[in-house]
Structure 1
Amino acid sequence: MYTVILYAHILSAALSIGPFFVLVLLVKRIREADTQYLSGLIATFRSAIRLVMHAGHVLVATGVLLIWQGPWSWHSPWILMTLAVMFSSVFFLARAFSPVLKKFAEPEADHPALAETLQRSLWIYILLLLLMLWFMVDKPTLWQ
């Protein structure tokens, strides 16, 4: 059973990180899109964020099960650091995308500036996710 949970954890990690790299390319299209295509691109962006969110829920649930079933303590430095980054990234994710995506619907919205904000938020979030991934893969001993 542990192997199945580990597989689900790794798969959900890939689904939590992978779409963001596609979104980087999508933001370039959003920046240059005509008004008639913009709503479809924004809908695609929202769908990808929804996928990432649900994959993140699976990632957390399977992570808890792996710690419970595995040899690690909740006090392991890499687990504590992963949790710290994860909780901070949850607040970042809530503010980084939805409010900006809603602004695209405003009549006088500056689409290139909003796309730039999305691009910056994407890269920040990707870096946070990669930091958590490093903690989970390398399991560094940051303190004793």
Structure 2
Amino acid sequence: MYKFILFIHIISAILSIGPFIVLFPVLNRMIGKSGDVLDSLIEIFQATIRIVKHAGHVLVVSGILLMWQGNWPWLTSWVIMTIVVMFSSIVFLAKAFKPKIRQFYAGTINSTVLIQKLRFSVWQYIFILLIMLWFMVAKPNIW
């Protein structure tokens, strides 16, 4: 059972990071677009974020099951740091994308600023996820 849960955990980790790579071509296509074309590209962007969010749910549940099945102590440094980074990523994900898209539709920022902000947020989120991935794979003993 442990190997199956590990497989699910790895697949959900891939689905939590991988779709962000797709967002760079989407952001490039958004440049100079307006109207329905821009709206459809924003929908693709938002759908990708939803996939990542739901994969994150599976990642957390499978991670908890792996901790239970693998007899890892909850107070080891890499587990604590993974949880801290995970909660940071949840907060970041909530504030990084949807509010910026709302600002665009409210007319407070234009599409050029939207694309710049979304691109920067994607890079930031990838960095956060890579830190979390490093903790899960390397399992460093920090303290």
Structure-1-length-normalised TM-score? 0.94
User: C-alpha separation between the residues in 1 aligned to 2:29 and 2:102?
Assistant: 17
Q: CA deviation at 1:108?
A: 6.3
Q: CA deviation at 1:107?
A: 4.7
User: C-alpha separation between the residues in 1 aligned to 2:139 and 2:110?
Assistant: 43
Aligned length: 143
Structure-2-length-normalised TM-score? 0.95
1:1-144 pair list within 5 angstroms? 1-107=1-107, 109-143=109-143
User: C-alpha separation between the residues in 2 aligned to 1:28 and 1:70?
Assistant: 43
User: C-alpha separation between the residues in 2 aligned to 1:109 and 1:91?
Assistant: 22
- Mean Cα displacement is larger for which, 106-115 or 125-134? 106-115
Give % identity: 50
- Note the residue ranges of structure 1 that are not aligned, 5 or more in a row: none
Letter in 2 for 1:138: A
- Note the residue ranges of structure 2 that are not aligned, 5 or more in a row: none
Question: Over aligned residue pairs, what C-alpha RMSD do you find?
Answer: 1.2
Question: CA 1:112/1:66 → structure 2, altered by over 3 Å: closer, same or farther?
Answer: same
User: C-alpha separation between the residues in 2 aligned to 1:108 and 1:133?
Assistant: 35
User: C-alpha separation between the residues in 1 aligned to 2:107 and 2:72?
Assistant: 53
User: C-alpha separation between the residues in 2 aligned to 1:59 and 1:109?
Assistant: 34
